[in-house]
A and B are shown apart, each in its own frame.
Chain A
Amino acid sequence: MLRFIATRLLQSIPLVIGVSLIGFALMHLAPGGPLAVYTLNPSINAQDIERIRIIFGLDQPIHIQYVKWATGMLRGDWGNTFFGGRPVLDVILERVPATMLLMGSALAVAIVLGLAIGILGAVKRHSIFDYLATSGALFALSFPTFWFGLMAIYVFAVRLRWLPSGGMFELGEEDNIIDLLRHLVLPTAVLGLVITASWSRYARSAFLEVLQQDYMRTARAKGLRFHQRLLRHAFPNAVKPLIALLGVELPFLFSGALVAETIFGWPGMGRLFVDALSMKEYPILMGMIVFTALFVIVGNLLADVAIAAIDPRVRLA
């Protein structure tokens, strides 16, 4: 197992290099740049902009800029932001907990509900429940997240006054877990709704396929009860593609909550990414590209390990 993990991590090195190289090139080849934000400062002039270009190292050829950035990364130096001069890793890491919390809770809700709805839909195919679940999923996937967000704020924060309208906590209540949970409910529910919808569809398809397999018929012929067939035979087989899917989707979860973060004022990574993108904050963007690439690798690795743990036919080598 350890050898497998080590091999996979070694194999991922060229992948990270490739991703960073492509990301760096695309960012710099795209029109515009970080100096544009200075142009809107009325007191700044051409000399000032040129001076700042040199300080940021943007006057150097792109390949030199990349080598400098990459050698810094090898030393563990993720660079400093252009605007603020802060270490990039600190800027990213300070946003991770908020995003992990929001996305983790939304995902947990979605997996539990999505699997339950999907399994039930597959088992009771063409039933009223199945039709309702299908229609509900289509409804949830068709409407934009911000609409659900605004409606949730309107109903639960404005009309009923049950929950706060936004933020991560009341000012001055930063250490109050109950307050944090109250703030977490609405964004989790809104994000969870959308993810549940898609996961219920994946789960339904996966279970439908498995339930029609010969070994399921054999299990039934053996006289196994329904829950035994489902848990012992169907579940391990149907859940494998879902685990693989989760491994691939994990990194997207870190940037996928942008709309919810904006509507609910949640201080996560999605907003950081968009802010950095609009200002062409190359160091933050590169940091997030590498961070996301690492999560793709780790996510896939975890998925492979989990599948091997579930399915004894899969051997990690």
Chain B
Amino acid sequence: MTETMHSPGWSRRGVIAGAGGLLLPAGLATPALAQQNTDRIILGMTQEPVQFNPLLYVNSGTENVPEACMFDALWDIDDTGTFIPNLAAAVPSGENGGISSGGLIWKIALKPGVKWSDGHAFTAHDVEFTYQTIMNPGVAVRSRGGFDLIKTFKVVDDLNIEIELSRAFVPFLWAWQNMHIVPKHLLAGEANINTAPFNTRPVGTGPFMLRSRTAGSHTIYERNPNYHRGPSKVRQFIHKVVPDQLVLYGQARTGEVDYMALAGVPNDRWDEAGKIADRDMLILNSPNVQFIYFNCGKPMFADPKVRRALYIACEMQKSIDDVYFGTYQRTLSYLSPAHWAYNAALVDETPNPELASRLLDEAGWTMGPDNVRMKNGEKLHFTMSTTAGNPSRQATEALFQQNWKRIGVEMEIRNMPASVVWGEYTTRSQFDTLLVAWDPTVGLDPDYTARAHSKQIPVQTGVGSNYTQYANPEVDRLLELGVTQTATADRKATYAKVQEILLQEVPFAPQGATRQAHLKKKPLQGVKPNSYVTDITWNVQDWGWA
């Protein structure tokens, strides 16, 4: 395994890593080059935001930064998993009368006195316009999840809204948390919101205002002095782009950036980064889980025994330790172990090649003459695909390939560019197996209807994202039940059962929950890793210098 990981050929990435290994400890560990400017914060990332309209962005993580700097949602979720009001005066609940007993009527009161950064008053009409834009078929909104259940949207007055849903949907809170409000007075007159100048010169209610963007380099935000939650602690927030992860890591060490975020400290440098004086290394438990996806629509994967056998033959923990340097957290579910709904009673059966072989025998796949299992004259041979050029994933695939070879299964690695593998190859379920990492589908709610309900198989029904084509009536029933339950304990029990069934039938085999290490200067205060959002700047208004 080690050989596989360390011998990807004379690749550019590999040589950079090697050269970086030579230069970083020696040179970049020296004291910060830059004089600390306490009036601004420089956040470094490897990718650049190109879309500032919060309804239209594509690249979450990166484009969450302008969203958090310049816009607000009705409510946020904090690092404890608690919804907290933002533009809303309170988070609606059954207790405060915001949600009716059947869960169909939602009453939302807005905070008075909020203004857009151009001075216009924020009102319920802006929220209504945001909803209308989300549902406008001509606007390339990134998702309508939850909003498509709105039956009527009524503006009671400038500060009050009443929404009626077509059916109870508890994750509706997540839908609004994840969608920031845009100004009606600036966008309502636009013939085409997809190409509106607003998308690059936005006006929001958020803690910062856009000052300038230098393409390919950085974006500068200035403090919004009239921010409704109080002015931010620093005058300027700069989002800097450093395309190479190792170079960015070097700049975090020299002090050229104050906070290194996405894509984080390289996995093989966590130990080193954790020991740097005057720097804090923050570990973010990401909601992102990496899986093997089995295409249940293919005859060889139709039998759950085969999928389970393949899953438990894999050295999952070893793959995390050897390939990801132990930085991933082993999970047995589509949720991270840090999630409140994670089923902690699940038992890890991997690796167990003996049981895997027995299960394959029971499923009728017997060993053939060339040590490859066969059934009805067909070999147990399939492909695995992921984004080409990702050395860690390639090494993971190679390990699983070896694991499966030992039990008489032939897997061929067939990786492709991202624009190919995640196109119709995935969405039209053309793959055999995939190695893929995904978040939950409705914010961080445990609802997994889109990925696991039998009516959400796009290749059959044209809707959903159940690309594995998995179908189980009991899972369907539980998923339908889960989104109507308001009591957390009830939901936890329902989703625990869903996770238990999924681990038995394995339409997708969980490997690990991804984690990131960020590096910041010690005096930078207010940064709070939040495993309930993909947005590291979720509380940017609180960031400041000690």
A50 lies within 8 A of B421 (CB): no
Contact of B139 among A44, A47, A55, A262 (CB under 8 A): A55
Interface residues on B, range: 35 or more
A252 within 8 A of B: no
Q: A91-B215, A167-B217 are in contact. Are A44 and B251 (CB under 8 A)?
A: no
Residues in chain A near residue B251, CB distance under 8 A: 165-166
Contact of A85 among B28, B51, B241 (CB under 8 A): B51
A95 lies within 8 A of B216 (CB): yes
Total interface residues in chain A, CB < 8 Å: 65
A308 CB to closest chain B CB (Å) equals 38
Residues in chain B near residue A178, CB distance under 8 A: none
Residues in chain B near residue A34, CB distance under 8 A: 419
Contact of A36 among B59, B420, B464 (CB under 8 A): B420
Residues in chain A near residue B247, CB distance under 8 A: 153, 165-166, 263, 265
A48 lies within 8 A of B142 (CB): yes
B23 within 8 A of A: yes
Residues in chain A near residue B15, CB distance under 8 A: 144, 146-147
Query: Which stretch from A123-131, A196-204, A271-279 is at the chain B interface?
Result: A271-279
Interface hits, A147-184 → B, CB 8 Å: 147, 150-151, 153-154, 158-159, 161, 165-168, 171, 174
A36 lies within 8 A of B216 (CB): no
Query: What is the bound-complex CA distance between A45 and B251, given in angstroms?
Result: 38
B267 within 8 A of A: no
A74 within 8 A of B: no
Query: What is the bound-complex CA distance between A144 and B441, given in angstroms?
Result: 42
Q: Which of A37, A48, A56, A168 has the most CB of B within 10 A?
A: A48
Chain A residue with the shortest CB-CB distance to B53: A85
Query: What is the bound-complex CA distance between A43 and B196, given in angstroms?
Result: 24
Query: What is the bound-complex CA distance between A305 and B265, given in angstroms?
Result: 53
Chain A residue with the shortest CB-CB distance to B256: A165
Query: What is the bound-complex CA distance between A42 and B443, given in angstroms?
Result: 9
B98 CB to closest chain A CB (Å) equals 23
Contact of A48 among B23, B27, B144, B256 (CB under 8 A): B144
Q: A33-B419, A85-B56 are in contact. Are A45 and B196 (CB under 8 A)?
A: no
Query: What is the bound-complex CA distance between A47 and B423, given in angstroms?
Result: 14
B88 within 8 A of A: no
Query: What is the bound-complex CA distance between A91 and B463, given in angstroms?
Result: 34
Query: What is the bound-complex CA distance between A122 and B200, given in angstroms?
Result: 55
Q: What is A's interface to B at a CB cutoff of 8 Å? A: 31-52, 55-56, 80-81, 83-87, 91, 94-95, 98, 144, 146-147, 150-151, 153-154, 158-159, 161, 165-168, 171, 174, 259, 261-263, 265-268, 271-272, 275, 278-280
Q: A98-B216, A158-B30 are in contact. List 8 more A-B contacts (CB 8 A).
A: A32-B420, A36-B418, A36-B423, A38-B142, A41-B142, A45-B464, A51-B140, A150-B20
Q: Can you list 21 pairs linking A and B with CB atoms under 8 Å apart?
A: A31-B423, A33-B423, A39-B422, A39-B427, A42-B439, A43-B441, A43-B443, A46-B464, A46-B465, A51-B137, A52-B140, A55-B140, A86-B195, A147-B15, A154-B27, A158-B27, A158-B254, A167-B242, A171-B218, A263-B247, A265-B241
Instruction: Across the A-B interface, give the 9 residue pairs with the lowest CB-CB distance, nearest first.
Output: A267-B216, A32-B420, A158-B27, A46-B458, A32-B419, A36-B423, A84-B50, A36-B422, A85-B195
